[in-house]
Amino acid sequence: MQGSGRLGVVLAIAASLAAWGQVGTKNQSGPVHLQVDDLRSPLGIDDATPRFSWQLNDAARGARQTAYRVLVATNPELLSDDKADVWDSGRVSSGQSLNVKYAGPAVKPSTRYWWRVELWGADQKAYPASKTEWWETGLLSQGGWRGDWIGWETTEEAAVRKAPAVWVANPDVVPGSAKPNSEQRFAYRTAVKVEKPLERAVLFATAEDTVDAWVNGEQVLKAAAFPPYHHLPWKKFVRADVTAQISEGINTVAIESVHYIDKYGESRRKDAPPMIATVILLYKDGTTATVGSDGTWKSTEHPADGWQKKEFEDKGWKNAQVFQQASGPQEQPVLHPWIPDSVKVLWKSFDAGETISHSSDKDPSPGTPGVKSARLYATALGTYELHLNGERVGDSVMAPGWTDYRERVLYQTYDVTKLMKSGANVIEALLAPGWYSTSLEWLQQPNNYGDTPPALRAQLRIEYTDGKVEWVGTDASWKADTSFIVHSELYDGETQDLRELYRTFNRTGVDARPGKQVQIIHPKEIRIEAQSFEPIRIDQAITGPKMTEPKPGVFIYDFGQNMAGVEKLVVSGAAGTDVQVRVGEALNPDGTLYTENLRTAKATDHFVLSGLATDVLVPHFTFHGFRYIEVTGVKSASSVGGVFAQVLHTDFHFTSKLKTGNAMINQLWSNILWGQRSNFVGLPTDCPQRDERLGWSADAQVFWRAASYNAALASFTRKFAADLRGTQVGTPYYGIYAPGTAKISPGVAAAWSDAGVIIPWTSWLQTGDTSVIDENWQAMRKYVDAIDARNPDGIWHNDSGIPFGDWLSLEGRTQEDLVATAYWAYDVNMMREMAHATGRTEAEQHYAKLEEKIRDAFDKKFIQLDAKVAIRDQLHERFIHVGAYIPGADNSPSPFGDINNPNAKATGGDTQTGYVLALHMNLLPADLRSRAADRLVEKINDNHGLLNTGFVGTPYLLEELTKTGHSKLAYDLLLSKGMPSWGYLIDHGATTTWERWNGDEMMGDPQMNSYNHYAYGAVADWIYRFAAGIDASPLDAGFHTVVLHPVFDARLSPLEFNYASSYGTISSTWTVKGKAAEWKVTLPANTTGRLELSDKEAGKYKVDGVGLSESPLAKKVNGGFELVAGSYQFEVEM
C-alpha cells in the first residue's frame, strides 16, 4: 500500500515536469509552454495588461531567441491566417521570453482572446510559430457585479446572532490571586420569563475556560476538564436544548464559569475571566424572544449550596459587571461567540432564453438560438460548492479560499457551457461557514471577519449564438433551506445526514421544492478580485490502507503517508446509523488513535447513513491532516467496502525531481514535498491538522526558496504577498501570520514579519518577474523604513515584537536583538537588490548606506576580537523575565509552550544560529568570516557533530558551512541519523518533516508537536543549489543566468536533479567514481551558465574531454566560466 501511494506521487511529479518543462529533442523546435500571468490558459482573470511568457524549445548548443512577435485575436482562425485583430506587437528585437506586457487596446470583460508567438533564433531564422493558446478576462471591475450577496439563517441562528447578550464578569475577582493548578469558579443567575406556549428553548453559553449550566435546578451543560494542552475553545458557544427543562412563567438559569489556573500559578488574564449566555425562546406562534447576559445578572464567587435551584434566594449577590477588554497592543478582541455552522442550500430555477437581461443588449426574444457559451462567476463569504442541473460545477474545493474578508475576497470563473440545457435549468449552491465565520486559532474565535452570516454572490452569463447575452444573478428570487450537511467546521469536522442528501439536490431541472426565500445580506463593502492562481483541488487518492482493530468495533486504517485531505468511505448500514470518522497523525502504543497533538481540534466527521445499499462518505467543507483514520459505528469491517484518502492542495505544477543513491535522502525529499503539498492549501499554513493552520510567516519565508524549486509558485506568491500586505492595516509592520484574524494585524516579530520582504524577493530571484517587486514595493519600504525610524542606532531593539527567536532551537535562546538586527540587515540587502533590478537608483543607494550602518552597529555590539558572536552587555531584562510563557494575544497561555521558560539557557549570540545568521546576513568583516565559521564548526563538534538550530538557523546552516570550506561537515549533518537530524525523523517513521526534532519524544506534551510542518524542509534548497549545484543569481534573476557550483560527495552518488525553470528544464546529474566525479549538466535555450570556480579549482575540470581553461566551450569570466545553452559532460578531480 505504502509503496503504491508513493509511486503515484512520483508518477504525478514526472507528469507535471513533462507538462511544465516542454523541453526535449522529440518536440518540434520553437516557442512552447505559453502562459499568461504565469498560468496556462487562465479563465477569468482581471488583469488589464496581462503578461505573456513562453519557452524556446531548441536543444542546440547556444540556442537563443533574438526577436519575438506576439499576435492577439478574437478568434483562432484569424491567427491561422497570420492576422491579429486585437494586437500585433510586430517583430521586436529582444531575447525577452518572460513577462512581455500586453500593449494593445483595452481588453473587454468576459471575453476570450487567442494568441500565439513567433520567434527568431541566433541565426535570425524564424522558428515555426507556436500553437495558438487563449486567455479569458473576468469581470474586470467591481461594477461588473450584478448579483447580490444572499444567504439564509434558521430562526434560531438569526436569534442567537442578533441576541443582545454581552460578556460579563464577576465584579470582585482579584486577578492573579489563585494558586497553581487550581480553579476559579464564578456563579451567575438570572430569571427567564416564558409568556406563551413554547416550540423550543435553547441555551447558548460559554466562559473562559468552560461552563456548567442549570435550568430550574437541572443541569444542562457540564464543564469540560482541563486538557493536557491547557487550552479550551472557550470563544464559541456551547448549545443545550432546554425545552424539557423550561416552562411557562418564571424560570431560573444558573451558570457557573470555570477558569483554570496553570501550573505557574498565574491567571492568564489581567482582568476578570468573562462569561456570556443567551436563552432563545421559540414560541409556537412563530415569534421569538431572547434573554442575554448583561449587567442585571447576579454573580458571586462563593455561592451557598443549592444556588442552582429556582427557589434559591440570591439577595446578597452583586450585579455582574459588563466585561471591559483590557487595553494593550497584544490584546485581541473577544467577539460574539455565535456559530453559523450548518450548511445551507440555495437555488434558482430558470429557463434559458427567458430570464430577464440586465445587460445593455436587447432583451432576448422567444426562440433564442442555442447557447454559445456560459460562464458562472461566484464567490462567498464562507465556502461554496456549485451545481448546475445536478452536475458539479468545476473541480475546485474550499472555494473561494481564505483572505481577510474585511478587505477582499476572491471570485472564481467556471465554464458551464456543457452543463446548460434547453428550457428548464436549476442552479444550486451549498454555502458553508468556511474561513469566514468558522472558529479560528487555538481558542477558536468564530466570526473573525464580520457579524453577518455566510453569503453567496454569483452570476451566470449566457451568450447565445446570435450574440445576445443574458444574466442570472443571485437576488431575492432565489430559494434556500437547510442541507444534508448539518454541521461543518474546519477544525472540528463535518456532520452529514445522508437521509437528506436527495432532498438537498435537484437533478431534473424542473424544481418543485418549496424552500424559503433567501435573505439579502449586507456585509461591509469589500474588494472582489479574480483568483489569479491555481485553485485547491483533490489531486490523487491513496488506496489500500492497512487495517487493524485495536479494540472491538474500532477500526484503524493506515495510509502510510501523512497528508492533508479528506477520507472517502463506501459504507453499508441501516438508516440512521451514525458512522464516526476520526483522524490522526500517529498511534498510541496500544494501536489506538493518538489525537492529543490536535489540541482543541476535534477533527471528527459524523455520517448518518441513508439506508440505501451503500453510502459514500466524504466531507465537503473541511479537511484534515492525517495518516490514520479511525472508523467506528459500523457493524464490522466488512461494512466498509472501500477506504480512500483524497489528497488536496493548491494545484500548482511540481517543477523538481530528485533522485540520489542514498535512500534516506530520497525519503527526505519525498517528506519535503509532502510537507509542502499538505500545507499549501490556499495559503502556506504551518500545519494542516491542529487548531491553528495559520499562514505563519516565518515558516513560509525560510521555506520559500525550496518551495519555489519544488513547484511553480509565482502566482501563488502574489496572493500570499497580498495577504501579508493586508496585515499592515494601522501599522507599518507585517504580521506574524496572514491573513489576520480577529485582529487585522496579529503582531510583529523579527524573522516572522520579515516574510513581507523575503517572499517577494525570493519569487523575483527564482522567476525573474519584477512585477512582484512593484506590487509590494511600497509595503516593503514602509516596513523596512519604520524599523530604521525606531532604531536609528542600527540595532533593532525597539518594536521588535514577540521574542520568538530561533524557534524550537535545542541550544537555548539566541539573543533577540541579534536575531532581529540580522534579519533587518537581510531585508535591507534584499531591498537594495530589488531596487537595482527595477531601476530605483535612489532607493538602491539609500539601502546600500543603511546596510552599511547596520553592519557597523552589529560589529560594535556583537562581535568580539576573537570573532565570537557574543554580547558585551546583559540580555534585555524583558527577555530574561518574560515569564514561563510568551503571553498570547489576550494574555491566555501561549500556544508557543515554554520556549521562554526562565530556566532555559540564555546564551546570547554564541550559538550555532548566532554564527549562521552573522555569516548568512553578511554582517561580519571579511577577515573574520573564516574565524566565525571555525567557531560554528567548534559548536557543532561540541554537540557530538550535530546541529542544534531551530526554525531560523537551520535553513542557512549547511549553506554557510559550504561557503566557508566545510562542505564535508555540511554533508555529515545532512546525512546524520542522531538527534537532532533529518535522518532521525526518517528513522522514526516520518513521512513529512516534523515541527520538533524530537517529536517522537513529545507525545506526552501536545502543546507544540505537529508531525507535518515544512520549515525544516528548507534543507532542500541546499540540496538543489549546492549538492546538485543549480542556483539563481540576483544579478540576472530567474535562471536567465544559471549559477553552477555542485558539491560532490560519494554518499549521495549517483545524483540526478531536474528543475523545470521558467526557461525550460535545467538538469544536473553526477556520479562519483573513486576520486573523480562525472557530471552532466543541461542548460535550456535562452539561458547562460556560470560555473563558479577559482583558477585552482578550474584545473580539476575537463569538459567533453578537454581541460576547462583550454576548452572553446567555456569562456573565462570574472569568478568562473561562462557556458552557453546546451548539454555538457564534465570530469572533475575530487
List the domain boundaries for the chain: 2-36+47-137, 155-322, 340-533, 537-650, 656-1024, 1028-1133
Which DSSP letter does residue 1008 get?
G
- pLDDT beneath 70, residues of the chain: 1-27, 175-176, 263-271, 326-332, 354-369, 507-511, 865-907
How many angstroms separate the CA atoms of 333 and 327, rounded? 10
155-322 folds as Jelly Rolls (2.60.120)
What is the DSSP code (8-state) at residue 14?
Answer: H
- Count Cβ neighbours within 10 Å for each residue of 1070-1105 and write b for 16 or more, e otherwise: bbbeeeebbbebbbbbbbbbbbebeeeebebbbbee
CATH number of 2-36+47-137: 2.60.40.10
DSSP 8-state code for residue 886: -
Distance CA 903, CA 883 (A): 10
Amino acid in position 755: A
- pLDDT for 742 equals 84
pLDDT at 173: 82
Helices 697-710 & 755-767, crossing angle to 10 degrees?
A: 10
User: Scanning the structure block, which residue is given the C-alpha cell 518574560?
Assistant: 882
CA dihedral of 658, 660, 665, 671, whole degrees rounded to 10: 30
Residue 10, pLDDT score: 39
Cβ pair 290, 277 in contact under 8 A: no
Cα 225 from Cα 729, distance rounded (Å):
38
pLDDT value at position 880?
A: 23
Q: Are 463 and 371 in contact (CB under 8 A)?
A: yes
Give bridge partners of residue 568 from the DSSP assignment: 644
- CATH code for the part of the protein at 656-1024: 1.50.10.10
Please name the helix (run of DSSP H) or strand (run of DSSP E) that holds residue 836, with its range, or none. helix 816-837
Helices (H), 680-711: 697-710
Residue 946: which of 902, 977, 905 has the closest Cα? 977
Q: Annotated catalytic, 692?
A: yes
* Architecture per CATH, 537-650: Sandwich (2.60)
Q: Are strands 624-632 and 615-617 parallel, antiparallel or unpaired?
A: unpaired
Catalytic residue, from 596, 851, 995, 1131: name it: 995
Closest CA to 519 of 471, 460, 474: 474
Distance between CA atoms of residues 387 and 288, nearest Å? 34
Nearest Cα to 699, choosing from 714, 715, 683? 683
Closest Cα to residue 579, out of 593, 594, 596, 567? 567
**To 10 degrees, the CA torsion angle through 449, 450, 452, 455?**
-30
Separation of alpha carbons 533 and 420, rounded Å? 27
Buried b (16+ CB within 10 A) or exposed e, 371-408: bebbbbbbbbbbbbbbbbbeeebbebbbbbbbbbbbbe
DSSP assignment, residue 500? G
340-533: CATH, from 2.60.120.260, 2.60.40.420, 1.10.3210.50, 3.30.365.10? 2.60.120.260
Residue 370 buriedness (CB in 10 A; 0-12 / 13-18 / 19+): exposed
Does 1028-1133 carry CATH code 2.60.420.10?
A: yes
Q: Per 3-state DSSP, what percentage of the chain is helix, strand, and coil (rounded to 5)?
A: 25, 30, 45
CA distances from 851 to 321, 733, 929 (A): 53, 19, 18
CB atoms within 10 A of CB 275: 27
- Scan for cell 488589464, then name that residue: 48
The pLDDT assigned to 813 comes to 87
- Cα distance between residue 779 and residue 797, in whole Å: 21
Q: Is 936 helix (H, G, I), strand (E, B) or coil?
A: helix
> Would you give the end-to-end CA distance of the chain in angstroms?
41
Among 578, 580, 574, 577, CA closest to 593: 580
- HEC secondary structure over 450-498: CCCCCEEEEEEEEEECCCCEEEEECCCCCEEEECCEEEEECCCEEEEEH
Which cell numbers hold the place of 88? 500585433
- Return d(Cα 457, Cα 811) in angstroms, integer: 52
CA count, 13 A, side-chain hemisphere, 36: 26
Bridge partners of residue 578, in order along the sequence: 608
Residues 545-556: tens digit of each pLDDT? 999 999 999 999
Inter-residue long-range contacts of 913-916, CB under 8 Å, 24+ positions, other chains counted:
913/806, 913/809, 913/811, 913/814, 913/819, 913/949, 913/950, 913/952, 913/953, 914/814, 914/815, 914/818, 914/862, 914/869, 914/870, 915/869, 915/939, 915/960, 916/949, 916/953, 916/956, 916/957, 916/960
Q: DSSP 3-state assignment of 888?
A: coil
Residue carrying the nine cell digits 519569487? 763
Residue 483 to residue 505: CA distance in whole angstroms: 9
Look up the pTM and report it.
0.93
Hey, what's the cell of 543? 488506496
Read off the C-alpha cell for 637: 469491517
Which residue is catalytic, options 428, 692, 816, 1131? 692
Asked, colleague to colleague, whether 155-322 and 537-650 share their fold, the answer is yes
Distance in angstroms (rounded) separating the CA atoms of residues 1086 and 1084: 6
Active site residue 428: no
Exposed, middle or buried by CB within 10 Å (0-12, 13-18, 19+), for 835? buried
